[in-house]
Amino acid sequence: MARSEIMLQRTKRYKKMVLFPLIASIMLILGPALLLQLYLSFNYYSIYSEGWWASEWYALDIFSEVVFDSRFHIAIVRSLGFALASTVGCFVIGFGLALLMYKNFRLQWFYYIIFIIPMLTVPIVIAYTAEMILYQKGPLNGILSSIVGRDMLIMWITNPDIALLTVVLMEVWNWAPFSFIIMMAGLASLPKEPIEAAQILGASRLKIFYEIQLPLLRPIIVLALVLRFLEAMAEFPKTWAIFQGGPGTATETIPVLIYLNTWYYFDWSKAAAMSYIVMMMMVVIILTAIKILQKENKRIAQVQAN
């Protein structure tokens, strides 16, 4: 009894000690920023004000302006669309490659090393490199032209109908390796017995894939999709460095719109109100995602324990 009480006390002390830096840094750094964000959403601040503390009380005016701003609505839809499209793109390519590669073959290590490089490349470097490649008279159109046999001058960057697709392609190039490595790990951890048994019973490869491998992989697939989707919602460097929201408003995702409002229009309060709404929206999405992950994590642990 006494011993377990001492243990309990020690554990409490350890808990306080290790959590202190985490809680302190959140309260010192994130806390004030969150309060300031809330304050700016209700008080009008522009760079012409003396300082943020001298801004004028606007009550709910700023929020209502943002809530009815169609440009903001479109940015939300665009961000969700972008995140969805790039998540699916990354997954299809990553899973496809993993299926081609998970069984040992001679050059497996070589392909694996090359295939993970994009995800190790600095995103802003990808953005600037893509701009060099996608230039209207750049190498990608050059290669396409020589394949087709006539000049193909696709306006990857300046055509508003294509621009967002271009960002999706960059994101897929960058992050397909993420799905690839996760699905490789997933496929490697599958138990061999049920698959071999099905083979002996004469099941086709397609049938084995749909009825044995896919259900077993489900939790890992969910993990790959959810994590990628959340990261894609926050994507900034590739969208910003090439497009700055343009041409027109074709690539104006949520992060870009908030950035523009803060540092181009100097409408700090509007940006703060937008950020607040987006943050609430993201918290809801993340809590849902976390619930899903928490459930699937147990299954992943089960699969991996085999």
Partner 1 sequence: MTKSQKQNLDNVIRYTLLTVWLLIVLFPLFWIVATSFKPDKDWLAWPPVYWSEEPTMSNYNNVWGGAMEHAETQYAQSVQKPFTALRNSTIISFISTFLSVSFGAFIAYGVSRYKVLSETRMFQLLMLRMVPPIVLVGPLSLYYTTIGLIDSLTGLIAIYFITTLPYAVWMTKSFIDEVPIELEQAAEIMGANRWTIITEVVFPVIRSGLLATFLFILILTWSEYLVAFILSKTDAVTLPVELAKYEGSSEGRVYGRQAALSVGITIPLIIVGITIRKHLARGFSFGMIRK
Q: Is the peptide bond before 191 cis (omega within 30 degrees of 0)?
A: no
CA dihedral 96, 290, 76, 32 (to 10 degrees): -130
Contact window for partner 1 (CB under 8 A) among 61-69, 192-200, 243-251, 284-292: 284-292
- Find out whether 44 and 56 touch, Cβ atoms under 8 Å: yes
Q: How many helices (H) and strands (E) does the chain have?
A: 14, 2
Residues 7-26 that bind partner 1 (CB under 8 A): 10-11, 14-15, 17-19, 21-22, 25-26
Q: Which of residues 168-227 bind partner 1 (CB under 8 A)?
A: 173, 178, 181-182, 184-186, 188-189, 220, 223, 227
Q: How far is the CB of 212 from partner 1 (least distance, A)?
A: 19
Nearer to partner 1 (CB atom), residue 77 or residue 188: 188
Q: Which stretch binds partner 1 (CB under 8 A): 60-68, 96-104, 154-162, 192-200?
A: 96-104
Shortest distance in whole angstroms from residue 251 CB to partner 1? 15
95 and 185 Cβ atoms separated by less than 8 Å: no
- End-to-end CA separation in angstroms for the chain: 38
Report the residue number, 165 or 286, with the smaller CB distance to partner 1: 286
The reply to whether 294 sits near partner 1 by the rule CB under 8 A is: yes
Report in angstroms how near the CB of residue 101 gets to partner 1 at its nearest. 7
8 A C-beta contact, residue 215 and residue 66: no
- DSSP annotation of 55 reads P
Contact region for partner 1 (CB under 8 A) — 67-75, 84-92, 160-168, 274-282? 274-282
User: Which range binds partner 1 by CB under 8 A, 70-78, 117-125, 155-163, 191-199?
Assistant: 117-125
Q: State the DSSP code for 122.
A: -
92 is a contact residue toward partner 1 (CB under 8 A): no
98 binds partner 1 (CB under 8 A): no
Q: HSE (CB half, 13 Å, CA atoms) of 130?
A: 29
Q: Does 133 bind partner 1 (CB under 8 A)?
A: yes
User: Are 111 and 194 spatial neighbours (Cβ–Cβ below 8 Å)?
Assistant: no
